[in-house]
Structure 1
Amino acid sequence: MDLLSHYRRMAANNLWSNDRLYRAVHALQPGEFEAERTSFFPSIKATLNHVLLVDLYYLGMIEQDGVGRAILDRYSDFDDSAELAAEQAAFDRRLLAFCEALGEGDLDRQVFTDRGENGQIPEHVGDLLAHLFIHDIHHRGQVHAMLSGASVQPPQLDEFFLDFDWKLRRDEVTRLGLHVETEA
């Protein structure tokens, strides 16, 4: 698998994993979404809002959308998990479309990242995408752990479109409209 294909699969996995996680979040009892929990952020709500905010920040820098760090001031936390899920899904589809449009040389292209007092720092697109994916995986893991202390069983998130698991995930992948190549 070449690196461009890997990033495209990571973007598809991001959409799929977030969809699975949010379906579990939607099944929480009233008050559990915002309930205080032990983690880096104090609730599932705070963690998932952080994920979306950072996603918007990094992809905005990669796309050079001109917003930069201003997104940090413009963003308002979502109190409703359904609204947050819809925004995250829209972002995930935007990220997937971006990755699907990547061409040779794009991963090595440098963009300037607005780092506030530290100025405009050049970064490679591939490095920023890798950071975004790792960041999302990290915080999804925290939400997964927080769900363990809630009324909902955490969903399985540690698959990567393996042929072995394809029969278990085909309906979800199809529902999301993902085109993931597999041998199965």
Structure 2
Amino acid sequence: MKEEEAIWMRHRKGVKNHVVDSSQPEADIERILREFIPRAYRRPVAEEQMIPFIKLAKDRLASGRTFEEAVRSGITAVLCSPQFLLLNSEPVVDDYAIASRMSYFLWSTMPDEELLQLAAEGKLKDPAVRQAQVERMIADPKIETFVNDFTGQWLDLYDLEFTTPDMRLYPEFDPLLLEAMKEETRLFF
């Protein structure tokens, strides 16, 4: 990565443009995409599924695009593919699908290494293992995203700020009380 000229940003000073380059662009394109695709798909990926993305990026590089542009085109294609975009589209629910469903439901993000390892070992079909993982996931700080989103939608906590009580009837109401009301509800949940 090479640092170039400074970029003007209103709220941040000293930000510089960076250019990503490589001394072995074709090998680096392949390495980057081979590491990225299984993470994006949340499962191991067969060689024949990776080849079109790698070929696309290498073709872009060969056509005169920069290394960074070539890698971006490969990654963009992966992120536009149905295997990345569509959760729960598999006709057969395997351990990787279970890991993704658990993770996106409870954490609103991709499975962590422990879930992926259990999926690789084929252990997530066991109800006791799933129960232990749910307990672990609930104890993790990432559960806050689920709590905020779920209570925000279910109990309309997102809309609480759009109404203002009459100050003559509720003189003690202030922004601190508003936040306390939302936090009490989340903590109770």
TM-score, shorter chain, exceeding 0.5: no
Pair member with larger Rg: 2
The TM-score with structure 2 as length reference comes to 0.29
The TM-score with structure 1 as length reference comes to 0.30
